[in-house]
């Protein structure tokens, strides 16, 4: 529905977008015993690492090929080889996942070719899977990087296998949290189905305490699970960004696919549960029937605070669609929608327009809005505009527990509704005695006769509480004299 | 790399104020001291990061990053150097270049971006940062900035420190070079006093400068400019009229201090605001140098009196904590100036340092550590996270002080941790900050949560949640294990 407009500005102010390699690295975080590597200069990795750490409050394995000016110009083969060997020696990961950056793409490094050469020259790496994905910084954003990385994982590792009727592959979008993934796994398993989650950050970024120090990811989809995805009876993707990987699975293993545009909201979840029921031959469990009923009640309770509010929202396409649609369903008006890149998801958004822009655009359009919705960087705009901010997406660095915030399924939708409603409640304007002053005309009309005027004076003076500033005697000496 | 950048880097490495450099032959010196980074085993920021960190605290300036989204999109709003005036430095400005810019060059977009910022925000100046991709495709930011300065009549300062030029520390210096080339000395202050100083390499993190400034104010010492914490463009531009320079962060911007000495004859010294003794020494040094430079003599006496009062008050306020913290062992993982300045502060708090990292420390820093800690200085050159974890897990230290990125090494080992780097929430500067530091360490160490998180799970697997990736034990096994434990046996000894 929404019309997509691209910003005409030369300069992005307060960017909403983050880079492709960061999104790709994030996807690789969901593979077990994996070490993601950014092929670029040190800073590329450092910036991404800091953001991931601040959002998840977790140790993040992320490495760099540490390109310098000479290797940038001559080509990064030596750095790739050295990085692979060093990582293998230090952390012995099962998977090393490389993403390119703007620097190495500009130079035009042929990483696919490099990997072939490394394989020949370094037999010790034979047991280590190497995945490569091209993610130039100057194209797309976080979600695009994630999308290409998941596709690269599928293309590198999945092979066709005989179909298992009770197995499904779940492709979560990058906007889902570890708690979201756990929720979906639980739902699928409740139907007696076995999900393979790809990638699965719920095992690696969910904030558990491992018994030992590991230099790599501490959980996630194992190599065996990824390979087994070739046997799934169905691929379920969450978010438009998973379509590419779902199609790749279809091509490789012939797996039928279904991409759900979102799983935040009532109707989409109904659809999912029905589908799972049909696939498994089992009825929807009582637990979810009850949760559905609870969600309905939550929507009823919540709509008082969301109905009619004007919202300015800035997020990556799939997240924008998920949260924006729910807000719309809860009676809010999507007055200003900002996103990062083009996506088929924008067509489904119940808003007039989506601007591919930045947080400056959000701030400028939000003057008459009641609520800002975006990542933590929006807090500066929210402070300046004195408006409540609902933090969603990545990064959220000024809140803890991001891994456990749930936004999908009936329960997750309910949680999100409560967050929004409570935020509106918290920021509700309190009225004061002076909020409804009479107009001068009305006052004059009320005080034209001297008798009426005397009445008014007496009334004002008779205020005994003194708590209302409006009727305190204007001259303190009057009071002093009166009390004498 | 452009010729001008190459020349600039060579110049930075000529640094006469660096004692490491003085020990080298002229040829070696020209090679510079940037360590080759180790692919796959490297960490830390790049030169762009360093330049941005050093200059961004100049708060009324728009900092525009010319490059793809990664450089600013992934990094903006990460560090908080407090500002008492403008907030524009907290906005992220980037040209966010696209594929066409990579192919045809991004100079036009850069020029337009500068114009947009001036039209919309009207800052007194714009700093333009070069990055890897735009340097590689050959965008000439110096030329664009010069043209923009002429056209718009506002200083537009190129900061030529693309990420691949080297590590963060080099970037600090290249950022400083931009100030030396284009900013310092371009504006005259409204008036000068015999008590004017510059503070260099102080970033006013969490407002630490403000813990110190009242002391200087009380003595009548004016901070003509702080480079760059809570900085204003015009103050930095008029820094050349100060009488004395103080270097805070060891060497990050030493080139400013040495060049200002050469150009304007301003003497400098290196001091620390961390710890009671160091804070007092710093005040004495400032007073001494100012008097040497012509300030009235009574400054020395007034300084001593202030120190006496402040020290007595500080010691009194930390006495309670000192008792509780006596003998507590600290693992300090930080860099540069903090590897010794915080050591001194911790020792004043009665704590024992079981190790301090010296990864980014200069020779002078290391000398200072030895001086403070004696011969058995536990200097750690490069400790891996695994080693830190083992050290904490084995309780060879009671608390770790480090930056945010390594905090989980401590937390996963269920040991207390305190942020000592740029993302911290509490300021530790001056006498006030010392009290705060000791208070925060006490708060971290004695939190009852540590007892809680160390309680082992009754079912024997130590409460670990690795079940998520390991196959769960069968109920039968679990019962057998429990039964074995209740008999005081290891499960393996019981046949199932």
Query: Residue B31: what pLDDT?
Result: 62
The predicted-structure confidence for B10-60, as pLDDT tens digits, reads as follows 778 777 666 666 667 776 766 666 667 789 887 788 999 999 999 999 999
Length of chain A: 484
Instruction: Judge: B40–A58 Cβ closer than 8 Å, yes or no.
Output: no
Q: Are A398 and A376 in contact (CB under 8 A)?
A: yes
**3 state DSSP class of B16:** coil
Selected residue with higher pLDDT from B434 and B490: B434
Chosen for mutation from A22, A26, A47 (greatest number of chain B CBs closer than 10 Å) is A47
Full DSSP string of A77-113: HHHHHHHHHHHHHHH--SEEEEEE-HHHHHHT--HHH
Nearest CA distance, B327 vs chain A (angstrom): 27
The predicted-structure confidence for B310-334, as pLDDT tens digits, reads as follows 999 999 999 999 999 999 999 998 8
Instruction: Judge: A215–B386 Cβ closer than 8 Å, yes or no.
Output: yes
Query: Residue B465: what pLDDT?
Result: 37
Query: Residue B344: what pLDDT?
Result: 81
Distance between CA atoms of residues A219 and A205, nearest Å: 8
Full DSSP string of A6-70: E---SSEES-----HHHHHHHHHTTBTTEEEEEES-HHHHHHHHHHHHHHH-S----EE----HH
The pLDDT of B388-407, averaged and rounded, is 88
Instruction: Judge: B116–A380 Cβ closer than 8 Å, yes or no.
Output: no
Task: Tell me whether B136 touches chain A (CB under 8 Å).
Answer: yes
Nearest CA distance, B76 vs chain A (angstrom): 8
Task: Tell me whether B408 touches chain A (CB under 8 Å).
Answer: yes
With 50 as the cut, is the pLDDT of residue B138 above it? yes
Name every chain B residue with its beta carbon within 8 A of the beta carbon of A18.
Answer: 69-70, 73-74
Nearest CA distance, A43 vs chain B (angstrom): 4
Query: Residue B479: what pLDDT?
Result: 43
Query: Residue A138: what pLDDT?
Result: 96
The predicted-structure confidence for A79-126, as pLDDT tens digits, reads as follows 999 999 999 999 999 999 999 999 999 999 999 999 999 999 999 999
Task: Tell me whether A213 touches chain B (CB under 8 Å).
Answer: yes
Query: Residue B10: what pLDDT?
Result: 79
Instruction: Judge: B102–A222 Cβ closer than 8 Å, yes or no.
Output: no
Distance between CA atoms of residues B401 and B457, nearest Å: 28
Name every chain A residue with its beta carbon within 8 A of the beta carbon of B385.
Answer: 59, 213, 215
| Residue bearing tokens 């046997």 | A231
Task: Tell me whether A83 touches chain B (CB under 8 Å).
Answer: yes
The predicted-structure confidence for B280-299, as pLDDT tens digits, reads as follows 999 999 999 999 999 999 99
Report residues of chain A scoring pLDDT below 50: 450-484
Q: Which of A250, A278, A276 is nearest to A263 (CA)?
A: A276
The predicted-structure confidence for B417-449, as pLDDT tens digits, reads as follows 999 887 788 899 999 999 999 999 999 999 988
Query: Residue B151: what pLDDT?
Result: 97
**3 state DSSP class of B424:** coil
Query: Residue B320: what pLDDT?
Result: 92
Q: Which of B399, B485, B456 is nearest to A211 (CA)?
A: B456
In this structure, the strands spanning B156-159 and B222-228 are unpaired
CA angle centred on B299, ends B294 and B302, rounded to 5°: 175
Number of A/B CB contacts below 8 angstroms equals: 250
Nearest CA distance, B214 vs chain A (angstrom): 28
Name every chain A residue with its beta carbon within 8 A of the beta carbon of B466.
Answer: 208, 210-211, 219
Sequence-ordered alpha helix ranges (H) in B249-297: 254-264, 276-292
Task: Tell me whether B96 touches chain A (CB under 8 Å).
Answer: yes
Question: Of the candidates B68, B112, B464, which has its C-beta nearest A10's C-beta?
Answer: B112
The pLDDT of B92-108, averaged and rounded, is 96
B441-449 LR contacts (CB < 8 Å, sep 24+)? B441/B321, B441/B325, B441/B328, B441/B330, B441/B346, B441/B349, B441/B351, B441/B399, B441/B401, B442/B321, B442/B324, B442/B325, B444/B399, B444/B416, B444/B417, B444/B418, B445/B325, B445/B328, B445/B398, B445/B399, B445/B416, B446/B324, B447/B416
Query: Residue B368: what pLDDT?
Result: 78
Query: Residue B44: what pLDDT?
Result: 81
Name every chain B residue with its beta carbon within 8 A of the beta carbon of A360.
Answer: 91
Nearest CA distance, A400 vs chain B (angstrom): 14
Nearest CA distance, A466 vs chain B (angstrom): 38
Chain A segment 48-67 residues within 8 A of B by beta carbon are 48-51, 53-54, 57-59, 63-67
Question: Of the candidates A50, A51, A72, which has its C-beta nearest B132's C-beta?
Answer: A72
**3 state DSSP class of A339:** strand
Q: Are B183 and B237 in contact (CB under 8 A)?
A: yes
Task: Tell me whether B30 touches chain A (CB under 8 Å).
Answer: no
Per the prediction, chain B carries an average pLDDT of: 86
In this structure, the strands spanning B93-94 and A12-13 are antiparallel
Nearest CA distance, B160 vs chain A (angstrom): 13
Chain A segment 377-406 residues within 8 A of B by beta carbon are 377, 380
Instruction: Judge: B95–A12 Cβ closer than 8 Å, yes or no.
Output: yes
Q: pTM for this one?
A: 0.85
Chain B segment 44-73 residues within 8 A of A by beta carbon are 44-49, 64, 67-73
Question: Of the candidates B39, B69, B117, which has its C-beta nearest A82's C-beta?
Answer: B39
Instruction: Judge: A103–B164 Cβ closer than 8 Å, yes or no.
Output: yes
Question: Of the candidates B71, B164, B465, which has its C-beta nearest A68's C-beta?
Answer: B164
Name every chain B residue with its beta carbon within 8 A of the beta carbon of A82.
Answer: 38-40
- In angstroms, how far is CA A418 from the centroid of its own chain? 17
Distance between CA atoms of residues A218 and B409, nearest Å: 13
Query: Residue B18: what pLDDT?
Result: 64
Distance between CA atoms of residues B267 and B258, nearest Å: 8
Chain B segment 288-327 residues within 8 A of A by beta carbon are none
Distance between CA atoms of residues A193 and A202, nearest Å: 18
């Amino acid at each position: 529905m929404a019309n997509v407009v691209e910003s005409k500005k030369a300069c992005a102010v307060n960017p909403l977008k983050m880079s492709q390699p960061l999104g790709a690295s994030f996807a690789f975080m969901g593979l077990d015993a994996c070490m993601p590597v950014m092929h670029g200069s040190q800073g590329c990795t450092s910036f991404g690492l800091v953001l991931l750490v601040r959002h998840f409050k977790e140790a993040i394995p992320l490495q760099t090929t540490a390109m310098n000016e000479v290797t940038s110009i001559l080509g990064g083969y030596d750095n790739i080889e050295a990085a692979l060997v060093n990582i293998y020696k230090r952390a012995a990961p099962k998977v090393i996942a490389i993403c390119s950056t703007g620097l190495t793409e500009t130079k035009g490094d042929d990483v696919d070719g490099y990997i072939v050469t490394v394989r020949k020259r370094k037999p010790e790496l034979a047991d280590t899977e190497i995945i490569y994905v091209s993610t130039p910084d100057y194209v797309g954003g976080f979600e695009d990087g994630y999308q290409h990385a998941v596709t690269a994982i599928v293309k590198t590792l999945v092979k066709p296998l005989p179909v298992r009727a009770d197995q499904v592959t779940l492709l979560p979008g990058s906007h889902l949290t570890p708690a979201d993934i756990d929720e979906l796994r639980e739902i699928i398993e409740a139907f007696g189905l076995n999900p393979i989650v790809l990638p699965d950050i719920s095992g690696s970024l969910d904030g558990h305490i491992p018994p030992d120090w590991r230099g790599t990811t501490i959980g996630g989809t194992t190599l065996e699970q990824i390979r087994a995805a070739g046997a799934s009876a169905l691929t379920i993707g969450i978010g438009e960004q998973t379509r590419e990987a779902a199609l790749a699975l279809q091509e490789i293993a012939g797996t039928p696919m279904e991409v759900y545009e979102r799983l935040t909201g009532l109707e989409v979840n109904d659809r999912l549960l029905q589908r799972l029921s049909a696939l498994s031959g089992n009825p929807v469990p009582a637990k979810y029937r009850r949760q559905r009923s609870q969600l309905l009640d939550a929507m009823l309770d919540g709509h008082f605070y969301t109905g009619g509010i004007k919202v300015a929202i800035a997020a990556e396409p799939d997240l924008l669609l998920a949260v924006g649609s729910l807000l719309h369903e809860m009676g809010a008006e999507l007055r200003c929608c900002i996103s990062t890149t083009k996506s088929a998801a924008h067509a489904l958004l119940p808003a007039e327009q989506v601007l591919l822009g930045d947080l400056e655009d959000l701030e400028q359009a939000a003057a008459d809005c009641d609520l800002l919705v975006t990542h933590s960087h929006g807090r500066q705009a929210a402070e300046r505009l004195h408006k409540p901010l609902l933090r969603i997406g990545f990064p959220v660095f000024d809140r803890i527990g991001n891994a456990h915030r749930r936004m999908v399924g009936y329960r997750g939708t309910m949680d999100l509704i409560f967050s929004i409603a409570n935020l509106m409640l918290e920021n509700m304007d309190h009225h004061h005695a002076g909020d409804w002053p009479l107009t001068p005309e009305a006052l004059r009309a009320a005080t034209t006769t001297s008798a009426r005027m005397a009445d008014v004076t007496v009334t004002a003076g008779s205020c005994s509480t003194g708590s209302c500033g409006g009727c305190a005697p204007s001259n303190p000496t009057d009071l002093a004299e009166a009390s004498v | 790399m452009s010729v001008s950048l190459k020349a600039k880097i060579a110049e930075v490495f000529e640094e006469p104020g660096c004692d490491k450099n003085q020990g080298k032959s002229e040829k070696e010196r020209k090679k510079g001291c940037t360590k080759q980074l180790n692919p796959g085993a490297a960490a830390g920021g790049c030169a762009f990061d360093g330049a941005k960190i050093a200059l961004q605290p100049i708060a009324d300036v728009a900092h525009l990053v010319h490059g793809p989204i990664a450089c600013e999109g992934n990094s903006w709003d990460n560090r908080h150097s407090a500002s008492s005036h403008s907030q524009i430095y907290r906005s992220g400005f980037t040209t966010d270049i696209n594929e066409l810019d990579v192919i045809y060059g991004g100079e036009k977009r850069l020029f337009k971006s500068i114009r947009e910022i001036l039209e919309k925000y009207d800052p007194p100046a714009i700093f333009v940062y070069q990055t890897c991709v735009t340097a590689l495709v050959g965008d000439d930011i110096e030329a664009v900035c010069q043209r923009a300065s002429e056209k718009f009549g506002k200083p537009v300062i190129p900061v030529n420190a693309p990420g691949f030029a080297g590590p963060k520390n080099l970037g600090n210096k290249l950022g400083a070079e931009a100030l030396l080339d284009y900013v310092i000395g371009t504006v005259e202050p409204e008036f000068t006093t015999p008590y004017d100083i510059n503070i260099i390499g102080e970033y006013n993190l969490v407002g630490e400068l403000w813990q110190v400034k009242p002391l200087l104010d009380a003595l009548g010492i004016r901070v003509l400019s702080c480079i760059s914490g809570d900085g204003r463009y015009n103050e930095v531009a008029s820094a050349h009229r100060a009488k004395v320079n103080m270097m805070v962060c060891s060497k990050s911007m030493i080139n400013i201090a040495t060049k200002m000495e050469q150009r304007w004859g301003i003497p400098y010294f290196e001091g620390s605001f961390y710890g009671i003794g160091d804070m007092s020494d710093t005040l004495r040094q400032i007073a001494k140098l100012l008097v040497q430079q012509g300030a009235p003599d009574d400054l020395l006496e007034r300084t001593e009196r202030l120190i006496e009062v402040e020290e007595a008050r500080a010691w009194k306020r930390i006495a309670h904590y000192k008792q509780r913290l006596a003998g507590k062992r600290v693992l300090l993982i930080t860099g540069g100036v903090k590897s010794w300045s915080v050591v001194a502060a911790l020792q004043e708090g009665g704590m024992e340092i079981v190790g301090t990292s010296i990864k980014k420390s200069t020779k002078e820093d290391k000398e200072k550590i030895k001086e403070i800690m004696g011969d058995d200085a536990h200097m750690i050159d490069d400790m891996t996270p695994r080693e830190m974890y083992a050290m904490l897990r084995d309780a060879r230290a009671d608390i770790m002080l480090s930056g945010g990125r390594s905090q989980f090494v401590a937390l996963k080992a269920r040991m207390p941790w305190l942020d000592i780097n740029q993302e911290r929430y509490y300021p530790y500067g001056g006498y006030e900050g010392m009290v705060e530091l000791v208070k925060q360490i006490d708060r971290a160490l004695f939190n009852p949560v540590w007892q809680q998180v160390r309680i082992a799970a009754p079912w024997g697997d130590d409460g670990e949640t690795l079940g998520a990736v390991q196959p769960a034990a069968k109920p039968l096994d679990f019962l057998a294990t429990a039964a074995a434990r209740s008999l005081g046996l290891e499960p393996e000894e019981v046949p199932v």
